[in-house]
Amino acid sequence: MCSIFGIFGLQPGDDPQALRRQALEQSQRQRHRGPDWSGVYLDERTILVHERLAIVDPAGGSQPLLSEDGELALAVNGEIYNHRELKAELKQPYAFQTGSDCEVINALYRQDTPASFLNRLNGIFAFALWDKASGRAIIARDPIGVVPLYWGHDKQGRLCVASEMKSLADTCADVAQFPPGHWYDTATGQLNKYYERPWRDYDAVQGVQVSPQELREAFEAAVHRQLMTDVPYGVLLSGGLDSSLVAAVAARYARHRIEDGDRSEAWWPRLHSFAIGLKGSPDLAAAQIAADMLGTVHHGFEYTFEEGLDALPEVIRHIETYDVTTIRASTPMFLLARRIKAMGVKMVLSGEGSDEIFGGYLYFHKAPNAREFHEELVRKLDALNNYDCLRANKSMMAWGVEPRVPFLDREFLDVAMRMDAQHKMVRKGDPGPQRMEKGVLREAFDGYLPEQILWRQKEQFSDGVGYGWIDGLKAHADAQVSDRELAAADKRFPVNSPQTKEAYYYRSLFEQFYPTPAAAETVPGGKSIACSSPAAIAWDASFAAMADPSGRAVTGVHEQALAG
């Protein structure tokens, strides 16, 4: 994974070399994402800059990727997991110039429409493709928005794109997030949605069953695909269900090299796992149990509250949000990424997305029926790019460590989301797997993990690293923000006014780096907690009055789940 920066629509009166220097300076702001090499493409109408983190074909594969005739220039941030299959299915010859997994996008563009070939890509990506001959650029982002992408227009009206907002915020007054699952065509000026799945509609999945074996095999295949790498990698292991399942499956494939069809021994055959928390945190203890059972080379790191507090401004600068939940969880992840980078690891697998697919948040206990449960899952998936995906990607990439998320693998999503949500709902008093959230997932992997891990109660990451983390942040914010300041929050921050002192404190730090209204509007409004959705409030009106995003604050649910 890397970073991309592009300027489209240069005019005859523009100074290309001056704009090239400007583009390099703006791209440099996100070089933490790609510290291994920089590449520039320039012609009379377009500039593309690429900052590379070399994961596949590290000796070659530098970008922008050019076609043999030089007419196509492609800058990609991401990974295409099914690139070998796509190459084998090409209907017309294409002279590949590198071993990069992403170059297949150029080949597909030559023979198909963007809407068609984008729906064949299984990967995480944001890219800008320039067709010099036609004077056309195609800009696209992966279906869920695992990889970030921003766009806007500079004062001269030129279209600019970048992997992170920090490269555009001071030059584009209209900077905004590029929407996941969409592509933009500069030739028509149209933004098009390409990712539409039947399972989004509950009527399409009602009555559908997915066996535990099919679910397990689909996830195993997803993890196997995402082990595609030519550099040292590891797994994030909090000791919860999701990260432990990722680690367990990865451990089964770690000894062989995925890129040559598992025929040769992996270059780094020992699987390393990583965890972080305050001293005595629940996650550190649970992660060690899981690691001992799986036989990973485990690294459990402790951080102090003061170290986390010191990192907050830099965390907010990197993750580009003032969302309370995201900042709480991003800070330990940011510190962990720094440790991982120091050990020479460049890619990690992580467990994001499982809760949104299987209803793992504790408020899903309150869902009244399968239809509303399913509709809330779809809403959560649609919002992931603003929360967990943003946190995982930007926290890790702040130190040049690429996170991959097998639960959000396109093919696995199609299996897991076409299951009728009635099989995912918690049934109180049920002696079987549905007595707890994500029961169908736990059942599918029976025997993979120790019982105390397989059936561990849900913890938010920011809770699991140690309850003192959240309590300390709230106390610190209370000392920094006065009652009078909070009362006038809507005047200082008219866009998404903060409702708590902790939210006000984070918003103040965000404003130091991103002071424009457009930057503030890139962050979703309203309460930043899972329970604040209209559906959740309808399920239990008490959620409407909650201001704290911690899972512990879901009144009654956490305790009932533990007891039940």
**pLDDT tens sequence across 323-352:** 999 999 999 999 999 999 999 999 999 999
Same domain, 360 and 496: yes
Same domain, 119 and 40: yes
Same domain, 385 and 285: yes
Last-in-domain residue among 196, 218, 250:
196
Q: Which helix (H) or strand (E) holds 47?
A: strand 46-52
Per-residue pLDDT band for 171 (boundaries 50, 70, 90) equals very high
Same domain, 327 and 389: yes
Q: Residue 258 has what pLDDT?
A: 81
**Where is average pLDDT lowest: 198-202, 246-250, 545-549?**
545-549
CATH number at residue 49: 3.60.20.10
SS3 442: helix
236 is in an annotated binding site: yes
Q: How far apart are CA 44 and CA 16, in angstroms?
A: 7
Q: Flag whether 101 is in a domain.
A: yes
Last-in-domain residue among 141, 172, 196:
196
pLDDT cut 70: percent of the chain above it: 93
User: How do residues 381-422 score in pLDDT, each as one tens digit?
Assistant: 999 999 999 999 999 999 999 999 999 999 999 999 999 999
Last-in-domain residue among 143, 162, 196:
196
Q: Flag whether 79 is in a domain.
A: yes
pLDDT at 489 over 60: yes
Q: Flag whether 341 is in a domain.
A: yes
Same domain, 173 and 231: no
Range 124-137 average pLDDT: 98
Same domain, 294 and 238: yes
Q: Flag whether 387 is in a domain.
A: yes
Per-residue pLDDT band for 549 (boundaries 50, 70, 90) equals low
42 is in an annotated binding site: no
Same domain, 457 and 400: yes
Q: Residue 453 has what pLDDT?
A: 86
Query: Could you give the residue numbers annotated as active site?
Result: 2
pLDDT at 267 over 50: yes
Same domain, 420 and 553: yes
CATH number at residue 440: 3.40.50.620
Q: Flag whether 136 is in a domain.
A: yes
In whole angstroms, what separates CA 314 from the centre of its chain?
19
Could you tell me if residue 80 is left (phi over 0), alpha (psi between -120 and 50 degrees) or otherwise beta? beta
- Number of independent structural domains in the chain: 2
Q: How far apart are CA 506 and CA 515, in angstroms?
A: 13
Same domain, 183 and 223: no
Q: Residue 552 has what pLDDT?
A: 47
pLDDT at 528 over 70: no
Average confidence score pLDDT of the chain: 92
Assess contact for 160 and 152: CB atoms under 8 A.
yes
Range 459-469 average pLDDT: 70
Q: Which of 403, 395, 400 is nearest to 336 (CA)?
A: 395
Q: How far apart are CA 549 and CA 531, in angstroms?
A: 8
Q: What angle do CA 146, 36, 72 make, to 5 degrees?
A: 70
Same domain, 191 and 244: no
Angle formed by the axes of helices 324-342 and 467-480, nearest 10°? 120
Range 4-29 average pLDDT: 96
Q: Residue 551 has what pLDDT?
A: 52
Q: What angle do CA 201, 205, 208 make, to 5 degrees?
A: 175
Q: Residue 544 has what pLDDT?
A: 64
**Where is average pLDDT lowest: 223-232, 483-492, 555-564?**
555-564
528 is in an annotated binding site: no
Q: Flag whether 107 is in a domain.
A: yes
Q: Which of 507, 460, 437, 471 is nearest to 333 (CA)?
A: 460
Q: Which helix (H) or strand (E) holds 462?
A: helix 461-464
Q: Flag whether 202 is in a domain.
A: no
207 is in an annotated binding site: no
pLDDT cut 90: percent of the chain above it: 80
Same domain, 505 and 546: yes
Same domain, 108 and 238: no
Q: What are the beta bridge partners of residue 302?
A: 277
Length of the chain: 564
351 is in an annotated binding site: yes
pLDDT at 73 over 80: yes
Q: Flag whether 248 is in a domain.
A: yes
pLDDT at 516 over 60: yes
Q: What are the beta bridge partners of residue 48?
A: 6, 41
Q: Cα-flanking dihedrals φ and ψ of residue 444, to 5°?
A: -65, -25
519 lies in which domain range? 210-563
Q: Residue 150 has what pLDDT?
A: 98
